[in-house]
Amino acid sequence: MSTSEAAVREQLTRALRERDEEIADRWVALQLEQALLGTDISEAELREEADSLIDALVPGLESDVPADRVVTSHPGLHEAVVGLSMRRAQAGATPTATSLAVLALKEALLKAVQRETRDAEELFATAVFINRLLDVAGALSFETYVEGREEIIRRQSQQLMELSTPVVRLWKQVLAVPLIGTLDTARTQIVMENLLQAIQDHEALVAIIDITGVSTVDTAVAQHLMQTVNAVRLMGADCVISGIHPSIAQTIAQLGIDLSTILTRATLADALAAAIKLIDGPGPDGEAGENP
């Protein structure tokens, strides 16, 4: 570290220690004035973020890490920037607004240093150092925001898939999974996991997979169905597929898909009747027995 950089760091550290409240207030005011939030985060929350980041800057500057690596290498400072970015992501702010909000700290820091010195060379050296320091913080906040939003989207997609594949108890020891939309590999896995767990929990003997809401059936969809049926059978339960309307039946026949080993019915009601017969057997009059 050069003598000039050490002097700049010492001066900036002193400003952060002695004028921390002033810097925090200025940074919060800049974000509010320049509309850099992109969300309804409160002024109190902004001040809490400012205090946290300023507190983390001091030990980071006191380390021997170069300016362009302080933010990424110092644990406390890295955590402060990441935490700010994640909170903004969860609140719905844009990545640009989040990055610009972090970069607005430059002006607040330089303003505080100007109160310590008017020397042009010192101010220029400090401005260069602050830019090197906070440009990395801005980039890190943008990257963290994007990763955070992607994780939120993945989690929400997972939750939506789980909600779109509910397992319903229709009768004692009879479960049903009404499928709607496209049946891909990821969704098949969720259907299988939820259904197998429900079979175990309810000690079910029959599982009905209703595909009335599935718009198209191709070879891939048929393979997914077969995987689910085989998994259900391994759990010791029978499987019935319902909702095979004429167009799907024609498609299955044209594709040469063999469902002959699987009990199929046109409607969910027919599938339930078949499931009850599988459990109870036919009654004296040929109808299904009672098993509420």
The per-residue pLDDT string of the chain (292 residues; one tens digit each, 9 = 90 and over) reads 677 888 888 888 888 898 999 999 999 988 888 776 666 778 888 888 899 998 988 888 888 788 888 888 888 888 888 888 888 877 777 888 888 888 889 999 999 888 877 888 888 888 898 998 899 888 888 888 777 767 767 776 665 555 556 888 988 899 998 887 776 777 777 888 888 999 999 999 999 988 888 777 777 777 778 888 889 999 999 999 998 878 778 877 887 877 778 888 888 899 999 999 988 765 444 444 444 4
For residue 239, being part of any structural domain is answered with yes
For residue 291, being part of any structural domain is answered with no
For residue 183, being part of any structural domain is answered with yes
What's the CA gap between 144 and 105, in Å, rounded?
A: 18
**Structural domain tally of the chain?**
2
Indicate if 230 and 249 belong to the same structural domain. yes
Among 102, 132, 160, residue at a domain's last position: 160
Give pLDDT, residue 208: 93
Who's near 287: CB < 8 A, 6+ residues apart? none
Residue 271's CATH number: 3.30.750.24
Q: In 165-204, at which residue ranges do the beta strands (DSSP E only) sit? A: 168-171, 174-180
Among 160, 180, 198, residue at a domain's last position: 160
Who's near 165: CB < 8 A, 6+ residues apart? 177, 179, 187, 190, 191, 194
Indicate if 154 and 200 belong to the same structural domain. no
Give pLDDT, residue 279: 86
For residue 124, being part of any structural domain is answered with yes
Indicate if 111 and 203 belong to the same structural domain. no
Indicate if 274 and 190 belong to the same structural domain. yes
Quick check: 112 and 19 in contact, CB under 8 A?
yes
Indicate if 39 and 115 belong to the same structural domain. yes
Among 128, 160, 192, residue at a domain's last position: 160
Give pLDDT, residue 219: 78
Indicate the SS3 state at residue 119. coil
Quick check: 146 and 96 in contact, CB under 8 A?
no
Could you tell me the residue range of the domain that residue 234 belongs to?
Answer: 168-280
Indicate the SS3 state at residue 212. strand
Give pLDDT, residue 233: 92
Indicate if 79 and 133 belong to the same structural domain. yes
Indicate if 101 and 185 belong to the same structural domain. no
For residue 285, being part of any structural domain is answered with no
